[in-house]
Chain A
Amino acid sequence: MNEAPKKYMNPYLAGFFLGFVLLTTIYVTGRGLGASGAIKSFVVQTVETLAPAHAATTDYYISQKENNPGGPLKSWLVFEVIGVVIGAFLSAVIANRVSVKIEKGPGVRNGVRIAGAVFGGALFGFGSQLARGCTSGAALSGMAVMSFGGIITMMSIFGMAYAIAWFFRKLWINKTN
């Protein structure tokens, strides 16, 4: 743990590796990668456990149950995200990057950063359900299979982020202009 973190991989090499993983996934399973769907599975499972009466009477949970007879957690994306956690942890261990900390822009208080992360996460979660996928499932996988919708979603995500980046600059960079 005393060693300094190693350098990140060359971005193009990492991109090639990621593209290769994506291609393998599509070749083997016929579907792309994803992330937000797994979080949804956890949400549905949580609601079904904590408020079974509510889940039994709301259409959305009922249709979820019909589509996943084995329970919400027995879904491909849940297993994939378990793999992501393992893979990311291994990579971080190899590169000496495991540390419990809060990463934030210069001069930002911890509370602000955490509140931002929760709120940003909430927006991302909501949007990902509306667009039927997030940066992984809609933008990246959609681009690989040349889906029009996937590419539109990708352009909307990055376009919006650029459009409002200036307003949130104090969260990330220490400049006032």
Chain B
Amino acid sequence: MGPLVPDIISNEFNFIIAIIVGMGFGFALEQAGFGSTRKLVGLFYGYDFTVLKVFFTAGVTAMVGITALNHLQLLDVDIIFINPTFLWAAIIGGVIMGAGFIIGGFCPGTSVVAAASGKIDGWAFVFGAGLGIFAFVESYPLVKDLMVAENLGYLLVFEMMGISREAFALMMIFVATGAFIGVTFIENKVNNRTTQWLKKDISKYSIAVGLAVITVLLTIITPSRGELMNKRIDAKLAAGECKPQMMADDKLAYELMNQYYLYNVVDVRSPEEFKKFHIPTAINIPLEELHKHDNINRIVQNIKTNVFYGASYEQAQRACLVSKYHGKADNYALNSTADQFQQNFFMLGDEQPKNKMDHETYVFRKEAAQKLIEIGEAVANLDKPVVKKTKRVQGGCS
């Protein structure tokens, strides 16, 4: 489950990773010819479109890869670094950089590559970039307001356009392919070469583009892991097999009073409903989020027995099946709903039933309600599972 830092790879080792991927980055840029300033600015005069070809291919490759990894739930796109959008800073900063590009002939990454292969102009650009950054830092109080104006947050371009991630990836593949064909014509015209399409090249590039398209199409067609799980559970429910073990509410109350530490009571309703009323000691994981990585870790454990309850019996049953699907055998579904539990235990009138059996139940439930509240308060801070806060990765260039 990516990203691997910081859970699988430590933050310290991440510096070693940085050197390794940096080497790959530098190697790729140098091989592409980005250490040469004339090759870079060729883009703007039409004689060499290498920058566009490399840049677009790299962007689309990574984009398709992220889409596929996200679909396979190997990469959590909700926590990877997304460049935040501060509209004015992005536009004005970009315009200033564009001017710097044409005057200086590099961008910061390529200037480092040029410097590494001995180009004095590369060194000059790196030095200039340092001066520019120094100027920025010293004038920071003046540009601070511009920096934070029009904050649109972690805005994604496909959300902005109202389409899906996959559709945008597909679109970019076609835009890039179209651009590659277009610039090849321009490039040949500027350099006075005739454009010829070799059969060998056409088939080679068609296969590459085709593979990218197929990858994205597969992510659209095939169900994600969550969908697959729900489908299988639906099939089992429809077939009427695998009924979860049931637990009556009196039994749960009794168990909690005597050995609450053996039970992991899970409320699968929404947080709002949970806030209004929940069985003491219960934790809240909404049913739709139960299959998520972090939540599975909270229910698939060896120490406690899970007891699920929700707004309806079906919710509890489904939660049981989700838990079972992920490998936890020891699950119970509560026989009654959250509302029934509240009625039975916490909203008893003062009038005592005449019937002896009902009277006993009444007394037990009254006591239980009292005791459960005490236990609930006592363990409120002690016994809750530690919720691991997954934070968005900090990154970017600034």
Q: How large is the interface on B (under 10, 10 to 19, 20 to 34, 35 or more residues)?
A: 35 or more
| Contact yes or no, B140 A121, CB < 8 A | no
A79-138, CB < 8 A from B: 79-92, 95, 97-105, 113-114, 116-138
Given A79-B19, A92-B117, A134 and B59 contact (CB-CB distance below 8 Å): no
Question: B134 CB to closest chain A CB, in angstroms?
Answer: 5
Q: Are B45 and A169 in contact (CB under 8 A)?
A: yes
* Binding stretch for chain A, among B78-86, B274-282, B356-364: B78-86
B32 to chain A, nearest CB (A): 4
Q: Is A47 part of the binding interface, using a Cβ–Cβ cutoff of 8 Å?
A: yes
Cβ proximity bits A1-42 to B, threshold 8 Å, 1 near / 0 not: 000000011011011111111111111111111111101101
Interchain CB contact under 8 A, A83 and B26? yes
Q: Does A56 contact B (CB under 8 A)?
A: no
A33, B25: Cβ atoms closer than 8 Å: yes
Which listed residue, A11, A35, A102, A168, touches B109 by the CB 8 Å rule? A35
Chain B binding surface SS class: helix
Docked Cα-Cα span, A40 to B134, in Å, equals 8
Is B37 part of the contact surface with A, judged by Cβ < 8 Å? yes
Question: Which residue of chain B has the shortest Cβ distance to A86 in the bound complex?
Answer: B23
C-alpha spacing A19/B28, complex, angstroms: 9
B102's partner among A26, A145, A164 (CB-CB below 8 A) is: A164
Q: Do A29 and B4 touch across chains, with their CB atoms under 8 A apart? A: yes
Measured CB to CB, the closest approach of chain B to A158, in angstroms, equals 7
Q: B122 contacts which chain A residues (CB < 8 A)?
A: 117
Instruction: Report yes or no: B62 in contact with A128, Cβ–Cβ below 8 A.
Output: no
Quote the shortest CB–CB distance from B398 to chain A (angstroms).
4
Query: Which of B58, B140, B143 lies in contact with A19, CB distance below 8 A?
Result: B58
Contact A11–B90 (Cβ < 8 Å): no
Q: A162 contacts which chain B residues (CB < 8 A)?
A: 44, 98
For A172, give the chain B residue with the smallest CB separation. B41
User: A22, B58: Cβ atoms under 8 Å?
Assistant: yes
- Inter-chain contacts of B85 with A (CB < 8 A): 147-149, 152
CA distance A84 to B36 in the complex (A): 15
CB distance from A64 to the nearest CB of B (A): 9
* Cross-chain contact B2 with A28 (CB below 8 angstroms): yes
Contact B133 A43 (CB under 8 A): yes
Whose C-beta in chain A lies nearest to the C-beta of B147? A130
Min CB distance, B320 to chain A, in Å? Answer: 33
Number of interface residues of A (CB under 8 A): 123
- The docked-state distance in angstroms from the alpha carbon of A137 to that of B91 is 15
Contacts of A58 in B (CB 8 A): 137-138
Instruction: Flag if B62 contacts A120 (CB, 8 Å).
Output: no
Is A27 in contact with B2, judged by CB distance below 8 angstroms? yes
Q: Which of B3, B55, B104, B124 contacts A140 (CB 8 A)?
A: B55
Known contacts A121-B106, A149-B85, A152-B87; decide if A28 and B9 are in contact (CB<8 Å).
yes
CB of B129 within 8 A of CB of A36, answer yes
CA distance A133 to B397 in the complex (A): 4
The chain A residue sitting closest to B28, CB to CB, is A18
Partner of A128, one of B28, B29, B60, B397: B397
Binding site for A on B (CB under 8 A): 2-5, 9, 14-33, 35-39, 41, 43-45, 47, 50, 53-63, 65-66, 69, 74-75, 77, 79-87, 89-122, 124-138, 140-141, 143, 146-147, 152, 154-158, 160, 165, 168, 180, 205, 208, 393-398
- In the complex, the 7 A-B pairs of residues with the closest C-beta atoms, listed nearest first: A120-B104, A83-B22, A156-B94, A121-B128, A160-B98, A15-B57, A131-B93
20 extra A-B contacts, CB within 8 A, seeds A18-B58, A100-B120, A125-B129: A23-B62, A27-B75, A28-B2, A31-B393, A31-B394, A43-B134, A79-B15, A87-B22, A103-B37, A117-B124, A120-B101, A121-B126, A125-B134, A127-B96, A129-B133, A130-B143, A140-B55, A143-B62, A160-B101, A164-B102
